[in-house]
Structures are given as structure tokens and as C-alpha cells.
Amino acid sequence: MITKVKQEFEKRYGPDAALYTSPGRVNLIGEHTDYNMGFVLPGAVDKGIYAAIRPAAGPVSRLYSVDYDAEISIDLTGPEAPKEQWAKYVYGVAQEMAKRGRTPGAINATFGGNVPLGAGMSSSAALESTFAFAFNDMFSLGFTLAELAVIGQMTEHNYVGVKCGIMDQFISLHGRAGHVIRLDCRDLSFEYKPFDPAAAGYKVVLVDSMVKHNLSGGEYNERREQCEAGVAVIAKHHPEVKSLRDTDLATLDKYKNEMPEIVYRRCLYVVEEIKRLLDGCDDLDAGRYDAFGAKMFATHDGLSKLYTVSTPELDFIVDVAKATDGVVGARLMGGGFGGCVIHLMRENVAESYLADLQSKFNQKFGLTPRIIEVVISDGARRLE
Ligand code: GLA
């Protein structure tokens, strides 16, 4: 992909491009907790977006998407947003920077990626982070990595329409090979945690359910609103409660009857998940992979039954995983409504489990689910 991006650049815009990349991510546990100010445990992966970029005379920038084989000319800091979805991410990043008083110059750029699209691995955050990092570096704008993450997140809110949390952009910018980060989404403090399951004979494997997830469907934003509705009920009695992070099960249960049942169920999942993540970190620290895996199954259960962001395909994969000795944990990963299942398994069962799963899935749904191998890798960077 890097070679293709570079060749396209040279063909269209000539020599001397700088190359940038920013990765997609996995998240071990802590789903739908980020916008509730809880914790997440993501790692950057060895698949991302690659861009070749050179400053241009301006004001018009030229962007070429290798994946869509489409080119546009646009003033990235002008008032008119592009119609093409893929270009909105780049436009939004430039706009959000300009709003903060540091305006990037015009560019010529080609880009493309190898993050499986729709698999819940944050290809869109990888795209935002690639350009946020590149603009910052190329035009010496002086934003911190955390500020760049917020710029990417606000691009989603204001130019794409998804009211996402901070996890995806944050890890895409801060990732480190061999480490996941435990991020506190309330104050953005974080800790790198070495993650090397292979040393203990375990393995992380992703299986794509082949249902493309797309968060712009409104369901994601609706979950967020339901969580906020629950917080509003609790805050009437406890004004210090600003998010689900600030409460606990006993308090939530106390006001259960004042909220719609569906709001209670959403909140219950989130409050349990925030606790599950903290306990799960203790498991990882102590090398208790089986106990950690059990929490992944519990997360899936909550995502499926309480938060209702699963699909029959995702549930089917997790059921097969549960019934297989040596597969110690599995759950849908990312926003849901499709995408992939992240598994934790003993290395020695991987081959037979995956073959069995593919054949069972194929019998039921008539498709062979794709297996995605990932290596936990570095975050955004300039390549040359
Ligand atoms: C998507 C969002 C993230 C996060 C996850 C669910 O990936 O972009 O902010 O909310 O869903 O954990």
C-alpha cells in the first residue's frame, strides 16, 4: 500500500512527498465506556492509513484516494465542505485546526489504507489521525498528540455526524509496539501496559463477521443519548454525578424506577463494564489470561443483551468460541452492529478452532468469515 500511495503521488504531483501513517486499533475490553468518561484498553495495530503529502501553493489542495480511485480539488480551510465522504475526514481535521487558531497550509496528497473497512478497527480514526499528525508536523502547528486526538474526535462529531468518544483517535496517535494503553477518558491520563500474550502461550485473533458496521446509522448516537438520560436522572439526586463514571451499581439501582427500562439497561451495562475493565487490568498484571478472557465473554453478553449492539453473526461466533476448550474469551469489538470479534485463546487451539468456526459459520450464513491477524504496533509517525 505504501508503494502504491507513493507511486500515485509521483504520477500526479511529482517528487518530494513526505510519507505519514497512522494505525487502526484493537480494544481488549472497555467498550462504549469512552464517551461515558470511563476507561478503555486499546492497542494500535500493524494496519493503517498511509499518506504521501507535500505542501502546495494554495489555497486549493488536491487529494487523491487510492481506495476510491477519486480525486478532488478543495480549499480545506474554506467554507464549503466536500460531498465525498472520504474527503470529509481531511476537511474536518483542517477545519478543527483552523477553529483553534492554527491553520494548516494547502497540500497535495494521495492516501490509502489496509485497515479492513467496516471491521470495527477504526479506519476512520486512522485517516483523521494521519492527516492531523501530518498537518501538525508539516506546518509546525504545535498541537500535542492529545489535542490532535480531540481534533479527530471533533471531526467525527461536526463533519461526519458520529458523536464518538476519544478512544480510537487517542490510540491511533499514542500507540506503542508491544503495549496497550489504559486510558482514563475523563482526564485523558494513561498508562502503557506491556501486552505479550504469546509469552504465556496465548494469542489474540480477530474474526470478521462479514457484516459491515457503519456507525453513522444513528444507533450509536442513540446509545450515547440514553446514557446521558440515565445520568440526568441520577444527577437530580446527586448533582456531582456528571457521567456514568461517577456512579455505581447501588446508586443506579436506587433510581431505576425513575428511568425508562431501556435507559436503565444501557446504564447497567456501562457501569458494569467500567468495573470489569479495572478488574481485568488486575488480571493482566497477574498474568491471569483465563480470568481476563471470562470478562471478555461477560462484556459480550452485556453488549448483546443490555446494550443491544450485537448481531446474529457476532453472537454466533461468540457462542462457538464459548463452546471451545482453550478459547478463553471472545466479544464483539468496537461500536458494534457488525464488525469483528476479538478472541483470546491458547495458541495451540487456534488452528483447529478457526477452521471449525469458519465451517460452522459458512453452514449457517453462507459466507466464510475472514481471519485478521494483528500485531500491536506503534502509533502515528512520519515514515520518510
Ligand atoms: C467506536 C467509537 C469509539 C468507542 C467505540 C465503542 O469505535 O468511535 O469512540 O465509543 O465505538 O467502545
Cα end-to-end distance, the chain, whole Å = 15
Active site residue 137: no
Q: Which atom of ligand 1 is nearest to the CA of 33?
A: 12
Single out the catalytic residue among 168, 208, 301, 315: 168
Report d(CA 299, CA 280) in Å as an integer: 11
Q: How far, in Å, from the CA of 28 to the mean position of ligand 1?
A: 13
- Say what the pLDDT of residue 215 is: 65
Q: How far, in Å, from the CA of 59 to the mean position of ligand 1?
A: 34
Q: Which residue do the cell numbers 468469515 mark?
A: 369
- Say what the pLDDT of residue 211 is: 86
Concatenated DSSP letters of 259-313: S-HHHHHHHHHHHHHHHHHHHHHHHHHTT-HHHHHHHHHHHHHHHHHTS----HH
Burial grade of 352 (CB within 10 A; 0-12, 13-18, 19 or more): exposed
Report d(CA 206, CA 191) in Å as an integer: 24
Residues near ligand 1 with C-beta < 6 Å? 31-32, 34-35, 122, 164-165, 167-168, 334-335
Angle at the Cα of 35 from the Cα atoms of 166 and 251, rounded to 5 degrees: 150
Pick from 34, 270, 296, 314 the residue to mutate for probing ligand 1's pocket: most ligand atoms within 8 Å of its CB: 34
- pLDDT, one tens digit for every residue, the chain (384 residues): 999 999 999 999 999 999 999 999 999 999 999 999 999 999 999 999 999 999 999 899 999 999 999 999 999 999 999 999 999 999 999 999 999 999 999 999 999 999 988 889 999 999 999 999 999 999 999 999 999 999 999 999 999 999 999 999 999 999 999 999 999 999 999 999 999 999 999 999 999 999 877 766 699 999 999 999 999 999 999 999 999 999 999 999 999 999 999 999 999 999 999 999 999 999 999 999 999 999 999 999 999 999 999 999 999 999 999 999 999 999 999 999 999 999 999 999 999 999 999 999 999 999 999 999 999 999 999 997
Q: How far, in Å, from the CA of 157 to the mean position of ligand 1?
A: 12
State the amino acid at position 112 in one-letter form: G
Is the distance from CB of 138 to CB of 18 less than 8 angstroms? yes
- Say what the pLDDT of residue 266 is: 98
Q: How far, in Å, from the CA of 153 to the mean position of ligand 1?
A: 10
Distances (CA, A) of 261 to 28, 67, 253, 265, 275: 29, 44, 11, 6, 21
For residue 162, what are the contacts with CB-CB under 8 A and spacing of at least 6?
A: 156, 215, 216, 220, 221
Distances (CA, A) of 306 to 86, 127, 300, 359: 33, 31, 10, 29
- Say what the pLDDT of residue 213 is: 72
249: three-class secondary structure by DSSP? helix
- Say what the pLDDT of residue 217 is: 64
187: three-class secondary structure by DSSP? coil
Q: What are phi and psi of 364, to 5 degrees?
A: -85, -45
Q: What is the largest CA-CA distance in the chain?
A: 66
Query: Closest by alpha carbon to 189, among 40, 25, 26?
Result: 40
Q: Is the peptide bond before 59 cis (omega within 30 degrees of 0)?
A: yes
Element (H, E) at 167: helix 167-174
Cell of 179: 503495549
- Say what the pLDDT of residue 118 is: 83
